[in-house]
Amino acid sequence: MSLAKDTVGPAVSGYADPQNNLGRPLARATKRNPGRLARVLDALGWSERARAWNRISPIHSTLADVVVLFEIVRNETGDPIDFHAIKVNDVFARLAACPPGRAHVVLDDMLHQEGTALYLENVTQLFREGRTGIMDVDAAKLGRHFRVSPFLPGGENLFAAIAADITHQKDRDDELLRLSRYYSVLSQINQVIVRASTGEELLRQVCRTFVDKGSYGFAWAGLETRKGKPPECIAHWGAVEASMQSSGAVVPDVALAETSLRENRIVVFNDLIGDPGTHGWGEAAMQLGFHSAAAFPLRERGSAIGSIALYSFEQNAFSAREVSLLKAAVEDISC
């Protein structure tokens, strides 16, 4: 076999195969399995995708971020209609706890399960203008958030992306947003306390404040009217269709508020799916779309006389700091 420089044929490190001594055996070996030829060419670094991956080698081999190479699928008019991950660095394999050789398959399945419409808009812009905006992506299956920067590594149907893990930053931003929201709740409740002329009006405006300002899905307030009986609903607020009723008022279930009243303590469930302590009422709340809930006793001279229950559509909605702020708000209402 003779290898000469700068002649026609598949290039290997700047050399070529003019007699096609390599091409013929490869063609015969892959005649029954065309996909095998693509894999062989990839392994030898002859394909366009392999060359593109090698060009960004300084990025995917040194960065602590996820780096992915994608291949797009075009329609008859040449517009991108789909894409597939074909190579990904080992960073993603570690995050997904999967074998490095299957990391691109796992990532591709994950992206297509979550939907690709948003990504395709950016990919189309990328190929049309040579640049596109940075995307923040919530990778729910990995429990992480990424800031994705797409770019063109070379190749007619290829694009690449760097995905920086911003989970901790996103968590900090979300925490600041929640704290800002709760301080708004506290401020509004203080105004309600001053303006309300009756206890019923006070509780109704407090429930509304928790939903409108605190972004909870549902708020419920009840008082003990008969010793040893469940609290009677005085006020509630929230746009939900309930499957259960208590004392003529719409409420997911009175059991949470009753526990807080009977035991004179704050009760928190941040995972209605996995917490066995919900004793059945958690399933009813989940049917309404709720994933976490908390109840706070209303006290008079230290004794519980009622309870306020809050329901959230988010899981883990009640952190220790948020519970502390909510406790302060309910204490302001208590006598």
| Span 87-141, pLDDT tens digits | 999 999 999 999 988 999 999 998 888 777 778 888 788 878 877 778 888 887 8
| Span 263-293, pLDDT tens digits | 999 999 998 877 777 776 777 778 788 889 9
Residue 204: its pLDDT value, please? 92
| Span 219-236, pLDDT tens digits | 999 998 888 788 888 998
| Cα-based distances in Å from 253 to 144, 208, 330 | 33, 18, 20
Lowest mean pLDDT across 43-47, 151-155, 237-241: 43-47
Report how far residue 309's alpha carbon sits from residue 326's, in angstroms, rounded to the nearest whole number: 11
Sign of the alpha-carbon torsion through 6, 8, 11, 17 = negative
pLDDT at 194 over 60: yes
Per-residue buried b or exposed e for 125-161, using 16+ beta carbons within 10 Å of the residue's own CB? ebbeeeebeebebebeebebbbbbebeebebeebbbb
What mean pLDDT is reported for the chain? 79
Model-level pTM greater than 0.75? no
Contact 92, 139 (CB under 8 A): no
Sign of the alpha-carbon torsion through 46, 48, 53, 55 = positive
| Span 38-49, pLDDT tens digits | 565 555 555 777
Contact 308, 214 (CB under 8 A): no
| Span 211-222, pLDDT tens digits | 988 889 999 999
